[in-house]
Amino acid sequence: MGYLTEDHRCPRGIFRRIVDALPSVLIGALIGAVSYVGMVDRPVMPVVVAAAALGAVLAAAVRQAVSGRPS
């Protein structure tokens, strides 16, 4: 590990990292919301949103753990 030179370029920009992480986060949110709606007879919207947020966070954490690098 040495000093960065003037020609150093980071391999991926922030836009690319967001585009790479977005599908897994959206799928996690969908799974979280659908699983809650499937378990409850009369779902309440704030709880559905919270379940979707939890699913998105868990999906992002699993993606980061599996890939070995932060998104």
Chain Cα centroid distance, residue 10: 22
pLDDT at position 52 = 95
30 to each of 10, 20, 38, 57, how far by Cα in Å? 32, 17, 12, 12
Does 9 reside within a domain? Answer: no
pTM: 0.73
Does 55 reside within a domain? Answer: yes
Does 8 reside within a domain? Answer: no
Q: Which residues lie below 8 Å from residue 24, measured CB to CB, with a gap of 6+?
A: 59, 60, 62, 63
pLDDT at position 69 = 63
Looking at the 3D structure of the chain, how many domains does it have?
A: 1
C-alpha angle 41-59-65 in degrees, rounded to nearest 5: 150
Does 32 reside within a domain? Answer: yes
Q: Is the pLDDT of residue 70 over 70?
A: no
> Whole domain around residue 46: which residue ranges?
14-67
Give the tens place of pLDDT for each residue, 5-63: 777 776 777 888 888 889 999 999 999 999 999 999 999 999 999 999 999 999 999 98
